[in-house]
Amino acid sequence: MEASSNTYVGGAPETSGDHNELAGSQLISEALKKQGVEYIFGVVGIPIIEVAFAAQQSQIKFIGMRNEQSASYAASAIGYLTGKPAVCLTVSGPGLIHALGGMANAQVNKWPMVVISGSSDQPQESMGAFQEFPQVEAARLYSKYAARIASLDRVPFFVEKAVRSSVYSPSGVSYLDIPGELVTSTINTSQVEQVPKYRAPPKPAASSESLREFMSLLQQSQKPLVIVGKGCSYGVAEQEAKRFIEQYNLPFLATPMGKGTLDDRHPLSVGAARSTALKDADCIILLGARLNWMLHFGRPPRFDPNVKIIQIDTDTRELHNNLQSALAIQADLQTVLKQLVEGGTKWKYDGATPWWSLLKKKLAANKDRSDALIHSKESAMLNYYSAFDAIQSIIPQDAIIVSEGANTMDIGRTMLLNSKARHRLDAGTFGTMGVGPGFAIAAAVYCQDHEPGKRVVCVEGDSAFGFSAMEFETAARYSLPIIFIIINNGGIYAGVDSESFQDMARQDAALNLPPTSLIQAHYERIADAFGCQGYLARSLDEVKKSVQSALAEKTRPSIINVFIEPSSGRVQQRIRQRILRPLAKQTPTNDQQAALLHEHNPKAEAPIRNEDFQATGFVIDPQHYLYHYWLAIISLAVAYNLLLIPARYAFHDLDKNLRILWISLDYTFDCVYLIDMFFQSRTGHFSHGLFVRNHHVLSRNYFTSRQFYIHDLLSIIPTDLLYFIPKYRFVSIIRCNRLLRIHRLTEFQDLTESRTRFPNAFRIFCLIGLTLTLIHWNCCAYLLICQYLGFGTDRWVLPTTAKNETVAMLYTYCFYWSTLLLSTIGDVPLPTKREEYVFVLFDYMIGILIFATIIGNLGTMISSQNQSRQQVREKMDEIKRYMKFRSVNRKLEQKVIKWLDYLYTNRQVLSEEMVLNSDLSVELRKDLAIKVHLESLQQVTLFHDCEPNLLVELVTKLKPTFFGPGDYVCQKGDIGKEMYIIKRGQLGVVSDDGKTTFVILKEGSVFGEISILNIPGSKNGNRRTANVRSLGYSDLYTLRKEDLWHVLDNYPESLSKIIEKGKSILRKDNLLDELVTDTKRHIEQEQLLSIQNRIKKLVDTEKSLNARTTTFFDAYVESIRKFKKHLSKMEYYYETRKPSAIVTKSVPLTTPGIPFLLKQWKTNTAAHLQRFSSIPSGQLDDD
Ligand SMILES: Cc1ncc(C[n+]2csc(CCOP(=O)(O)OP(=O)(O)O)c2C)c(N)n1
């Protein structure tokens, strides 16, 4: 064989004009075609660009990707979808290295693929050639066959071997390396070794003995389960698997990419009860499924330790892997399943077994759970479940679903249903992020040719999408109508809300931003760059509408960016802690605080179990008003015991005279105590940020808690049984254990305090109540001590006559005595006995404490009430000092002081800003703003037909502003920078000299909106048309122009509506120039006029100039380098070989367009050479 080189470097093929002469590139493409390859995905460059051209000539489709990684993902996906390998074509060195990711992914998935990489010319080996790299060695680890094509005559041999190896079990990756000089060399076809198309792989069947054993194991099983793996789908055994499962009535579930082999909605599918099915099954049949991490290695605790595994797999490496199987059959799935169906018995697994009932019960319960999650109202934003539910309801049932991400993929697996085999492609066993766009492109290319009309929906996490986002351009270039749906939570696993994000990013972002966080970006705008449609969806309605519009688009890809709650999802505790730890250093939002609290709560440390959050039976929500009422009732019971137990013990007559009443009240309140225990066992609480509603879980938590044993159970022990002992007959003090329930009283107090509108009054009431209770207890103690020491024994105790006093009189005296003592007024007889001294001393100490508490509490209440007043005063004083220092005239000083007075008395600015900048969560602040301002905004006619979300966003941008008497709000000719809504007060539209008032604007009036809209054609431009002045004090809400435009940016439809309305208003007043029509462009131009925009534009221009200079310089360096390479090559050929090597020859080309491209290449090369000849050689050496 004689191989000849050509001069083409990094360009089109140079081949012989002789029809029997073929270049290496053509030989490869012809051989690939012969082996049935339909598609090549790749990125071209030196030295394989000719291969791509030649492939197109051979009618193999070439899809040029933006990165070899995606090219390899795409090629491998074609292998899975068609069972035939596609080719991933890469340049040398880094090109192959990029493809290694896809090769590893395909190897792990056992998907056939052939990777062909050009490599540096063999004569330059070890000389530091361009992109020189030990490619075959590198590829070997990621492929089952890796070789370098030795010579042109054996190209068909290597290609057949590569294709065959990739397809034969276990299918995987083949790698072929082709040195650059072989690509462009030519050979006479007579010298090429001809190799036929590879034979389809054998389909081994199961022996009859294995089949018998299979049936025997199956029939012995009480709790069988079939797991349908991706292998079954790849083996095109869907029909057979369906017949087998239906014939024997077996419950089944599918592995992630096995989904759809049987319809996910199939009545025998138990996928939604996966954990139970895996854990309790006693016999599991694996149809092309592997016992790897995805199936928890088939081991306890996720599987029954005694489970019998039956495996059917073509790959011997999977048999008995991680676990000794009861039966392992190495055979083709389609064949074995057919054998089992056709040769099996009439036996059928009973549909009424306890196993089926358990699975069905679990299925129903899990359905309730996911329904609850779908309709969860914990946040106004979407969550994964609600978003997926909306998507699922719109996308066609037979769509190919591609998915990647963490939560996005996991939750998507259960929510997005498949009805056909090989219709789900995801990050799979290897968990590779970045596969999505490549897979989707492959699937869409496949659909274009084989299943026209079928749609590909690519559901991506926002992080996952970022890995290969530029492939959107590829999809646009090849007119592939893929629907990219990005489930955007602004992070990997979870994001943080935008406010916390900004807080953290403002400081040293690299130290503060959680490693998981990303910008919750407007990815939909990427579509715009390629002339495609992007959608932003924040509500269910928007999700549905955008999916519908995207489905209507048949030739272009679209992006739907679904904004979901950043913390939404099944975030594991470990990850949460990692995310929240850095947040703890910042000012956490309310949600985060709650989450942090939970981390210190032992209950919350329990792992998340989804069933805990499922509503079952009667459960009380502690936020509900009923709970508050109940607390009032139980508090009454506790208060009764608190007051009456000591009173009845000390005042015998009180106890004796009303015994029937006391006994009935005692037992009534005991019943209340018992009911309270039931209520407590059904009171929901938060765990992991979610509300626990499962009453079993709640009861278990309560009945095993310390509170139950130490307080509640002890408090209800029937100590009154001691009444039967004569000595303790009706001695009320033996019921003192009832006081252990006092925590309910304090809970009631706390709850009421946080709910009441008069917290200070309530606090004073509680303080008085506490003081009186202590005096009451002390009064009882005094009577008891008097009884113990004997009435009338000295002056300190009660006189003997007290015995004959009525209970009321006696109580009054004791209470009086107790008050004097505890209030340390001290006007009581001096003690004489030791016991009396001890008692008095003790009382004094308690008294001091009571006073300290009262004074402290009252002080706090008063100072908190005065705090805001104090703050205002301080500010006022400061302003006054400033005015004095600056010698401000008396009139202005008075005006300022009056203004501040007004501000203070109306408590507007301070309180409002304080509230809106407080620790309230963003959502709550938004809710508050909506409550306070929405009504005002709705009055603006311009916004009448706008989307409600737009108003909600605008509401948060409204700022309160105040004007004093005579202050100008705006003046004629000013540039409009904000619009105004009058909340309180009156404004006048006045003449230029301010003397005449034309119109009075009252509360609710709106003005200034037209000038901030920059309406194209407005004769006044964006200038104010009138002088507006405050008549007295007035409160206005202002909306700044930047804020309005910032929000309107996301609502293009509303923007045009508003502009149209503005126009009609202007039209009425004849202030519109109808000739100006290009609304958007005009608005943008107007915007650019602002100084900030000009500065920004300058900065941007500088940046872009910099970037362009760098690119230009790089290109220049690169071209010099290339010319140098040309030069060395030419020198090499001239000096060592024949000079004719640079003479180009042409080969007849058939594909339209290619001759044109070749011509272009040649012209370019000639131009390069010309330029090259004019460059002094010194310059080249510098490179
Ligand atoms: C190649 C690769 N790099 C990194 C990872 C680690 N990883 C796992 S999931 C994931 C992204 C998850 O975030 P996202 O795609 O936004 O999905 P979400 O969980 O937020 O829905 C990453 C980066 C990976 N699996 N593969």
Q: Is the pLDDT of residue 237 over 80?
A: yes
Residue whose CA lies nearest to ligand 1 atom number 3: 433
pLDDT (mean) for 407-420? 94
d(C-alpha 680, C-alpha 674), whole Å: 10
Our answer on whether the CB atom of 408 is closer than 6 Å to any ligand 1 atom is yes
Query: Is 647 a residue whose pLDDT tops 60?
Result: yes
Angle in degrees, 0-180, between the axes of helices 24-34 and 49-57, rounded to the nearest 10: 50
Distance 436 CA to ligand 1 centre (A): 12
Query: Which is it for strands 186-188 and 173-179: parallel, antiparallel or unpaired?
Result: unpaired
Q: Is the CB of 411 under 6 A from ligand 1?
A: no
Atom of ligand 1 nearest to the CA of 461: 15
Among the residue ranges 488-502, 726-740, 953-967, the one predicted with the least confidence is: 953-967
**Ligand 1 mean position, distance from CA 166 (Å):** 29
In angstroms, rounded to a whole number, what is the distance separating the alpha carbons of residues 1064 and 944?
A: 14
Closest CA to 778 of 647, 945, 639: 647
Q: What pLDDT score was predicted for residue 91?
A: 97
- Cα-based torsion angle of the residue sequence 1024, 1029, 1035, 1041 in order, rounded to the nearest 10 degrees: 10
- Expressed in angstroms and rounded, the spacing between residue 433 Cα and the centre of ligand 1 is 6
| Residue 520 beta carbon below 6 angstroms from any ligand 1 atom | no
pLDDT in tens, 752-769: 987 787 888 888 899 889
- Of 272, 273, 267, 262, the C-alpha closest to 419 is 262
- For 1156, the token pair is 């044109």
- Which DSSP helix (H) or strand (E) runs through 873? helix 834-885
Task: Tell which residue, 235, 225, 428, 206, has the closest CA to residue 327.
Answer: 206
Sort strands 690-692 and 400-404 into parallel, antiparallel or unpaired: unpaired
Amino acid at the residue 230: K
492 C-alpha to center of ligand 1: Å? 6
Which of 432, 463, 516 maximizes ligand 1 atoms within 8 Å of its Cβ, making it the mutation to test the pocket?
Answer: 463
Residue 126: CB partners within 8 Å, gap ≥ 6? 132
Task: Name the pLDDT band for 986 (thresholds 50, 70, 90).
Answer: confident
- Between the CA of 458 and the centroid of ligand 1 the distance, in Å, is 15
Give the distance (Å) from ligand 1 centre to CA of residue 286: 29
Question: Mean pLDDT over all residues of the chain?
Answer: 84
The interaxial angle of helices 94-109 and 68-82, nearest 10 deg, is 30
| H-state helical runs in 704-739 | 706, 714-715
Closest residue by Cα to atom 8, ligand 1, is: 406
pLDDT of residue 690: 58
487 CB less than 6 Å from ligand 1? yes
Over residues 507-534, the pLDDT tens digits come to: 788 988 889 999 999 999 999 999 999 9
Between 589 and 121, where is the model more confident? 121
Q: Please name the residues in contact with 578: beta carbons below 8 A apart, sequence gap of 6 or more.
A: 514, 515, 516
- Rounded CA-CA distance 966/998 in Å is 15
Q: Nearest 5°: phi and psi at 641?
A: -65, -40
Q: Tell me, in angstroms, the distance from the centre of ligand 1 to residue 406's CA.
A: 5
Q: What's the gap in Å between 164 CA and the centre of ligand 1?
A: 34
- The stretch 899-907 carries a mean pLDDT of 66
Is the pLDDT assigned to residue 33 strictly greater than 90? yes
Which uninterrupted H or E stretch holds 634?
helix 625-650
pLDDT, one tens digit per residue, over 999-1041 is 888 877 888 887 777 777 777 777 788 889 888 778 888 888 8
Q: Which atom of ligand 1 is nearest to the CA of 467?
A: 1
- Paired residues of 1027 in beta bridges: 990
Q: How many CB atoms lie within 10 A of CB 102?
A: 32
pLDDT band at 933 (very low <50, low <70, confident <90, very high): confident
> Highest mean pLDDT: which of 135-144, 571-580, 887-896, 920-929?
135-144
Residue 459 CA to ligand 1 centre (angstroms)? 13
Q: Is the model's pLDDT at 8 over the cut of 50?
A: no
How far away, in angstroms, is 427 Cα from ligand 1 center? 10
What token pair was written down for 613? Answer: 């959050």
Q: Which pLDDT score is estimated for 281?
A: 96
Q: 569: CA distance to ligand 1 center in Å?
A: 14
Return the higher-pLDDT residue of 1119 and 1159.
Answer: 1119
Residue 329 backbone dihedrals phi, psi, to 5 degrees: -110, 120
| CA separation for the pair 650, 653 (Å, rounded) | 9
How far the first Cα of the chain sits from its last, in Å, is: 38
Measured by CA distance, the residue closest to atom 7 of ligand 1 is 433
Q: Is the pLDDT of residue 400 over 80?
A: yes
> What's the average model confidence in pLDDT over 12-31?
78
Burial (CB count within 10 angstroms: exposed 0-12, middle 13-18, buried 19+), residue 485: buried
Substitution site in 382, 429, 493 for ligand 1 pocket (most atoms within 8 Å of beta carbon): 493
**589: Cβ below 6 Å to ligand 1?**
no
For ligand 1, atom 6: residue with the closest CA: 433
pLDDT band at 1084 (very low <50, low <70, confident <90, very high): low
pLDDT at position 560 is 97
Atom of ligand 1 nearest to the CA of 464: 15
C-alpha of residue 234 to centroid of ligand 1, in Å: 26
If one counts every other C-beta atom within 10 angstroms of the C-beta of residue 615, the result is: 14
Q: Report the pLDDT averaged over residues 1108-1131.
A: 78
Q: Is the CB of 489 within 6 Å of ligand 1?
A: yes
Q: What is the pLDDT of residue 147?
A: 98
pLDDT confidence of residue 967? 85
- Is 462 touching ligand 1 by the criterion CB < 6 Å? yes
| Residue among 409, 467, 485, 492 whose CB has most ligand 1 atoms within 8 A, to mutate | 492
Q: Is the CB of 412 under 6 A from ligand 1?
A: no
Q: Residue with the nearest Cα to atom 5 of ligand 1?
A: 433
For residue 464, report the distance from its CA to the centre of ligand 1, in Å: 5
Question: Predicted confidence band at 828 (pLDDT cuts at 50, 70, 90)?
Answer: confident
As a whole number of angstroms, the distance between CA 128 and CA 123 comes to 11
**Residues whose CB is less than 8 angstroms from the CB of residue 725 and which lie 6 or more positions away in sequence, other chains included:** none
pTM of the predicted model as reported, rounded to 2 decimal places: 0.56
pLDDT beyond 50 at 138: yes
- Ligand 1, closest atom to CA 488? 16
Cβ atoms within 10 Å of 328's Cβ, excluding its own: 18
Helix ranges restricted to H, 285-374: 333-343, 354-374
466 lines ligand 1 (CB under 6 A): no
Residue 370 Cβ contacting ligand 1 at under 6 Å = no
Which single residue is written with the structure tokens 């928890």? 296
List, in order, residues 6 or more apart from 459 with CB less than 8 Å away.
391, 401, 402, 403, 405, 408, 409, 412, 416, 485, 487
Q: Is the CB of 566 under 6 A from ligand 1?
A: no
- Ligand 1, from 433, 459, 462, 565: best to mutate by most atoms within 8 Å of Cβ? 433
Which residues lie below 8 Å from residue 1002, measured CB to CB, with a gap of 6+?
982, 986
CB of 405 within 6 A of ligand 1: the answer is: yes
- The CB of 463 under 6 Å from ligand 1? The reply is yes
The ligand 1 atom nearest the CA atom of 433: 26
CB of 139 sitting under 6 A from ligand 1: no
**32-57 mean pLDDT:** 96
> Of ligand 1's atoms, which has the minimum distance to the CA of residue 493?
19
Query: What's the gap in Å between 291 CA and the centre of ligand 1?
Result: 23
pLDDT band at 241 (very low <50, low <70, confident <90, very high): very high
The dihedral sign for the CA sequence 991, 995, 996, 1002: positive
Structure tokens at 446: 């496949």
Q: Which of the residue ranges 64-68, 157-161, 212-216, 585-589 would you say has the lowest mean pLDDT?
A: 585-589
pLDDT band at 222 (very low <50, low <70, confident <90, very high): very high
The Cα-based distances of 214 to 224, 791, 1102 in angstroms read 12, 97, 74
Does the CB atom of residue 461 touch ligand 1 within 6 A?
yes
* Closest Cα to atom 14 of ligand 1: 461
Please state whether beta strands 959-963 and 1034-1040 pair in parallel, antiparallel, or not at all (unpaired).
antiparallel
The reported pLDDT for the residue numbered 1109 is 81
CB 493 less than 6 A from any atom of ligand 1: yes
For residue 487, how far is its CA from the centre of ligand 1 (angstroms)?
A: 12
Q: Which atom of ligand 1 is nearest to the CA of 494?
A: 20
Q: How far, in Å, from the CA of 405 to the mean position of ligand 1? A: 5
Element (H, E) at 912: helix 909-916
Which residues, in sequence order, are CB contacts of 1162 under 8 Å at separation 6+? 12, 1144
The pLDDT confidence band at residue 1091, using thresholds 50, 70 and 90, is low
User: If we measure between CA atoms, which residue out of 750, 777, 746 comes closest to residue 846?
Assistant: 777
Q: Which of 29, 3, 28 is nearest to 16 (CA)?
A: 3
The CA 519 to ligand 1 mean position distance, Å, reads: 15
Compute the distance from residue 491 Cα to the ligand 1 centre, in Å. Answer: 9
Q: Which atom of ligand 1 is nearest to the CA of 406?
A: 19
CB atoms within 10 A of CB 841: 11
Confidence of residue 945 (pLDDT cuts 50, 70, 90): confident
Q: Is 1025 in the pocket of ligand 1 (CB under 6 A)?
A: no
pLDDT exceeds 90 at position 143: yes
Ligand 1 centroid to Cα of residue 438, in Å, is 16
Residue 975: how many CB atoms within 10 A of its CB? 14
DSSP H or E run through 492:
none
Asked whether the predicted pLDDT for residue 15 surpasses 50, the reply is: no
Place of tokens 């000092």: 881
Tokens of 1030: 């405050």
Among 405-419, 511-525, 595-609, 722-736, whose mean pLDDT is lowest? 595-609
Coil, helix or strand for 197?
coil
In this structure, are residues 707 and 740 in contact, taking their beta carbons and an 8 Å threshold? no
CA of 520 to the centre of ligand 1 (A): 15
